[in-house]
Structure 1
Amino acid sequence: MSALRKAHELFVCTKTVLPFVRPMIAGSWRRCATARVSCDDRRLPPARMGADELADYRAQHPLAPVLPVFDALLRDPADDCGHVFAISDAGGTLLWVRGRTGALDRAERMNFAEGVGWSESSAGTNAPGTALVLRQPVQVFSAEHYNEVVHPWSCSAAPIRDPGSGRIVGVVDITGDESAASPYALALVRAAAVAAETELIGRGKKTRPGVRIRALGRDEAVLEVDGHVRTLSPRHSEILVVLALAQGGRSAGRLAVDLSEVDLGMSTVRAEMSRLRAVLGDELLDSRPYALCRPVSADFTVMSTLLAEGRVHDAMAIYDGPLLPSSEAPFVREHRTALEQQLRGAVLASGDARLLRRWVSAGWGAADVTAWQALATQLPRGSAAHGAAAARARGLVDEPA
Structure 2
Amino acid sequence: MGISRTTRSGAGGARPSALLRAVHELFVAGEVDASYLESSSLRPIVAKSWQRSLAKGVDPDGAAQPSPVGEKLARLREAHPLAPALPVIRRLLVDDAAGSGVVVAVSGADGTLLWVEGDPNACRRAEAMNFVPGADWSERGAGTNAPGTALAVDAELQIHGSEHFSRVVQPWSCTAVPVHDPATGALLGALDLTGGSRVATPQALALVRATVVAVETHLALLRLTGGPVEAAQPRPRLAVLGSERPRWLVTDEFGHLRATTLTGRHADILVLLSRHPEGLSADHLAMLLDDKDLDVVTVRAEMSRLRKVVGADAIESRPYRLMVPITTDIGEVYEALDAGDVAGALDRYPGPLLPQSISPAVGRLRTELAMTLRGAVLSTGDPAVLRRWLDSPDGRDDRDGWRALHDGTLPGSVQQAQARGKLAGLDFDLA
TM range (shorter): 0.5 to 0.7
What is the rounded CA distance, in whole Å, between the counterparts of 1:144 and 1:7 in structure 2? Answer: 10
1:10 paired to 2:26: yes
Within the candidate set 107, 128, 142, 2:161 is matched to: 142
What is the rounded CA distance, in whole Å, between the counterparts of 1:192 and 1:335 in structure 2? Answer: 36
- Stretches of structure 2 that go unaligned for 5 or more consecutive residues are 1-16, 239-247, 278-325, 334-358, 360-431
What is the rounded CA distance, in whole Å, between the counterparts of 1:62 and 1:160 in structure 2? Answer: 10
Q: Percent identity?
A: 40
Is the contact between residue 181 and residue 187 of structure 2 (CA under 8 Å) also seen in structure 1? yes
1:327 paired to 2:264: no
1:198 Cα deviation after fit: 0.6
Is the contact between residue 145 and residue 174 of structure 2 (CA under 8 Å) also seen in structure 1? yes
Runs of 4+ in 1 over 6 A off after TM superposition: none
Distance 1:305 1:138, change over 3 A: farther
User: Structure 1 length normalisation: TM-score?
Assistant: 0.56
Is the contact between residue 181 and residue 231 of structure 2 (CA under 8 Å) also seen in structure 1? no
Name the SS for the 2:129 alignment partner: coil
Is the contact between residue 139 and residue 155 of structure 1 (CA under 8 Å) also seen in structure 2? yes
| Partner amino acid, structure 2, of 1:328 | R
Alignment of 1:222-371 (within 5 A): 295-296=232-233, 298-300=235-237, 303-305=249-251, 325-328=272-275, 332-334=327-329
Within the candidate set 164, 170, 180, 2:183 is matched to: 164
| Partner amino acid, structure 1, of 2:44 | P
What is the rounded CA distance, in whole Å, between the counterparts of 1:24 and 1:6 in structure 2? Answer: 18
Within the candidate set 46, 52, 55, 1:34 is matched to: 55
Partner of 2:69: 50
Is the contact between residue 323 and residue 336 of structure 1 (CA under 8 Å) also seen in structure 2? no
1:180 Cα deviation after fit: 1.2
Within the candidate set 93, 98, 112, 2:112 is matched to: 93
1:19 paired to 2:40: yes
What is the rounded CA distance, in whole Å, between the counterparts of 2:60 and 2:132 in structure 1? Answer: 19
Is the contact between residue 155 and residue 174 of structure 1 (CA under 8 Å) also seen in structure 2? yes
Distance 1:9 1:311, change over 3 A: same
- Stretches of structure 1 that go unaligned for 5 or more consecutive residues are 211-292, 339-363, 365-401
User: Structure 2 length normalisation: TM-score?
Assistant: 0.53
Is the contact between residue 107 and residue 147 of structure 2 (CA under 8 Å) also seen in structure 1? yes
What is the rounded CA distance, in whole Å, between the counterparts of 1:308 and 1:25 in structure 2? Answer: 26
Distance 1:295 1:88, change over 3 A: closer
1:118 Cα deviation after fit: 0.2
Alpha-carbon displacement from aligned partner over 1:216-264 (angstroms, at most 9, x marks no partner): xxxxxxxxxxxxxxxxxxxxxxxxxxxxxxxxxxxxxxxxxxxxxxxxx
1:295 Cα deviation after fit: 4.6
Number of residue pairs aligned between Structure 1 and Structure 2: 251
Say what the alpha-carbon RMSD is for the aligned residues: 3.3
What is the rounded CA distance, in whole Å, between the counterparts of 1:308 and 1:325 in structure 2? Answer: 28
Within the candidate set 89, 98, 102, 1:83 is matched to: 102
Partner of 2:82: 63
Partner of 2:296: none
Alpha-carbon displacement from aligned partner over 1:171-192 (angstroms, at most 9, x marks no partner): 0000000111111111111111
1:78 Cα deviation after fit: 2.7
